[in-house]
Amino acid sequence: MREGQQKIAVYPGSFDPITNGHIDVIVRALHIFDSLIIGVTKNPEKKPTFPIDKRLKMIKESTKHLPNVTVETFDGLLVEFARKKKAQAVIRGMRALSDFDYEFQMALTNRKLDPEFETIFLMTDANYSYLSSSLVNQIASLGGDVKGLVPKAVEKYLKRTRKK
C-alpha cells in the first residue's frame, strides 16, 4: 500500500439481522481502517428472515452514527468485490473457537483465489460471544425480548415482524 493511500476493508455477511456483536466488530475495524464497506450478500444456504432491502435499511440505520461506513450488496466472489472496492483486507468476526474452522478455511480459499487477499479476524466482545443472527431471530419469533442484543433500529423491525 502506498503512503497516503486510504486503508479500506470489507466486512461481508448476510446480517439477517445485524446484531450488537456485528456493531462491535464494525467499531473495532474502524480503529484499524480509514473506511469500512459492509458487504451484504445473499447466503443461498439460508432462508432469510428479512429481504435484502430491509437488511440494508436496518444496517444503514444502525451504523449512521459511525463515520466512513458504507453499506452495499454484492453477488459473486468476495475476492472480486473486495478488489473492485480497492479494499486491502476483509474483516471477519469471531465469536468462539467454533467459528475458527469455517473462517480459516474461507480465508485460505480466498487467498488461493487471490494471493494478495488478506483476512483479518476480530474477536467480538465477550458480552456477545454467544450471539448470532439466527439466535436473535429465534428469540424474537418466540416473543422474547431482544433488547441489548440488536441495535434499536433492528428491535423495531423485529417487533413489527412479530406482530404480523
> Would you say residue 145 has pLDDT above 70?
yes
Residues classed as catalytic: 22, 46, 95, 133
Instruction: Indicate the pTM of the whole model.
Output: 0.91
Q: Classify domain 8-163 by CATH number.
A: 3.40.50.620
Of 157, 139, 140, 130, the residue nearest 20 (C-alpha): 130
Give residue 41's region: left, alpha or beta (phi > 0; psi -120 to 50): beta
Asked if residue 160 has pLDDT above 90, the reply is no
Order of all β-strands in the sheet with 8-13: 69-73, 35-40, 8-13, 89-94, 119-123
Q: What is the pLDDT of residues 2-35, one digit of tens each?
A: 566 799 999 999 999 999 999 999 999 999 999 9
DSSP one-letter code for 22 = H
